[in-house]
């Protein structure tokens, strides 16, 4: 039996939140979209709807979204603009990174307290965790409220005190495996998450190294499209373990696996994304 063509994956960071606008560490706090963020979500929905009208392979069968309101509200706005509309599926593994003691703090205050080097390591390095959230603090109570609204699997499946990006990658691995299997069946998916949960997800999708993901930024409200092909292990006729790209129809049954056509994907609006990424870089990154 011929395998279906691989599905298409669209990644979308939620629109700007009120804490993004204030340049605060949000982490697991459940905050709303700003007015600008609502507009970004509406624009993303319109862009994706227009692209779907030209290319049906972009129409998502499902929308996987972080249950935090800034992401789920973005997902709902986008879904309303799409054919169907596609069903929304909450996925706790997509919640934002737990920023520990930095939660609710202004970024500039943390930079001033810890210094530029430590600030960068906590924010951008792969395996550094911020200090744990302080028990009894207002931030700890609000984070506990978020955990209380997540499924039991989340309370046992992620750290409760602080997270590194490596921790986020670890909790996302099962979701990426399920997503990969759905794509391999020909299902198109839209994944709506947060700056760091999507950085971690892209690391899995594109097999990025730690240095590569450290410099990766994800702007708000910009649909990022990943298309896939099947990579077939060589039959041994060529030395070096090379693989062949562009699988035959029966490659799914021949041990092929999905690889992105373009490593890093392609933004629907490349010009706007380039400008947004430049602005993010100037402000210190996602």
Give pLDDT tens digits for 106-115. Answer: 999 999 999 9
Same domain, 143 and 99: yes
pLDDT in tens, 54-86: 999 999 999 999 999 999 999 999 999 999 999
Q: Is 272 annotated as a binding residue?
A: no
97 is in an annotated binding site: yes
Kindly tell me if the per-residue pLDDT of 158 is higher than 80. Answer: yes
Tens digit of each residue's pLDDT (9 = 90 or more) over 226-236 = 999 998 766 54
**How much is the average pLDDT of 232-254?**
47
111 is in an annotated binding site: no
Has 257 been annotated as catalytic? no
* Contact in structure between 65 and 193 (CB atoms under 8 Å): yes
Cβ–Cβ < 8 Å for 14, 219: no
24 and 70 together in one domain = yes
Looking at the structure, do residues 51 and 186 belong to the same domain, yes or no?
Answer: yes
Percent with pLDDT over 90 in the chain: 85
Phi first, then psi: give them for residue 194, nearest 5 degrees: -120, 170
Query: Is the pLDDT confidence value at 183 over 80?
Result: yes
Whether the ω angle into residue 85 lies within 30 degrees of 0, i.e. cis, is: yes
Residue tagged active-site, from 96, 163, 194, 226: 96
Q: Note the pLDDT of residue 237.
A: 41
The span from the CA of 58 to the CA of 226, in Å, is 10
Residue 239 falls within a domain, yes or no? yes
Are residues 214 and 144 both part of a single domain?
yes
**Same domain flag for 241 and 178:** no
Residue 211 and residue 180 in one domain: yes
- Residue 167 CA to residue 203 CA, distance in Å, equals 13
pLDDT of the residue at 253: 47
pLDDT given for residue 251 in this prediction: 46
Query: Does the annotation flag 13 for ligand binding?
Result: yes
Q: Is residue 50 part of a domain?
A: yes
Q: Please tell me whether residues 153 and 256 are part of one structural domain.
A: no
Average pLDDT over residues 30-49: 98
Q: Across the strands, what pairs with 107?
A: none
pLDDT given at position 269: 93
141 shares a domain with 18: yes
User: CA triplet 10, 223, 121: central angle to 5 degrees?
Assistant: 95
Q: Are residues 109 and 247 in the same domain?
A: no
Q: Is 14 assigned a catalytic role?
A: yes
Cβ distance 168 to 69 under 8 Å? no
The domain tally of the chain equals 2
Residue 4 lies in a domain: no
Determine whether the annotation assigns residue 26 to a binding site: yes
Q: Is the dihedral of CA 160, 154, 207, 41 positive or negative?
A: negative
Instruction: Please give the residue range of the domain that contains residue 113.
Output: 9-226+262-282
- 98 labelled as ligand-binding? yes
Measured in whole angstroms, how far is the alpha carbon of residue 235 from the centre of its chain? 35
221: CATH: 3.40.50.1240
């Amino acid at each position: 039996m011929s395998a279906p063509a691989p599905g298409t994956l669209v990644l979308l960071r939620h629109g700007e939140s009120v804490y993004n606008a204030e340049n605060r560490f949000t982490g697991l706090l459940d905050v709303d979209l700003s007015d600008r963020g609502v507009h970004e979500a509406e624009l993303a929905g319109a862009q994706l709807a227009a692209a779907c009208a030209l290319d049906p392979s972009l129409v998502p069968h499902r929308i996987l979204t972080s249950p935090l309101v800034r992401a789920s509200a973005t997902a709902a706005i986008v879904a309303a603009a799409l054919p169907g509309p596609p069903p929304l599926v909450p996925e706790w593994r997509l919640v934002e990174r737990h920023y520990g003691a930095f939660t609710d703090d202004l970024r500039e205050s943390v930079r001033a307290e810890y210094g530029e080097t430590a600030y960068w390591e906590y924010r951008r390095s792969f395996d550094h965790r911020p200090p744990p959230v302080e028990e009894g603090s207002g931030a700890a109570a609000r984070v506990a409220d978020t955990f209380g609204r997540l499924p039991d699997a989340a309370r046992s499946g992620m750290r409760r005190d602080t997270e590194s990006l490596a921790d986020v990658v670890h909790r996302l691995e099962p979701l990426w495996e399920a997503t990969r299997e759905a794509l391999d069946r020909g299902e198109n998916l839209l994944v709506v998450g947060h700056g760091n949960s999507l950085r971690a997800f892209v690391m899995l999708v594109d097999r990025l190294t730690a240095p590569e993901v450290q410099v990766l930024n994800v702007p708000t409200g910009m649909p990022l499209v990943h298309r896939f092909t099947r990579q077939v292990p060589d039959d041994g006729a060529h030395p070096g373990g090379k693989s062949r790209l562009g699988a035959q129809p029966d490659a799914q049954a021949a041990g092929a696996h999905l690889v992105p056509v373009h490593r890093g994907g392609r933004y629907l609006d490349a010009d706007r994304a380039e400008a947004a990424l430049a602005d993010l870089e100037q402000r210190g990154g996602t």
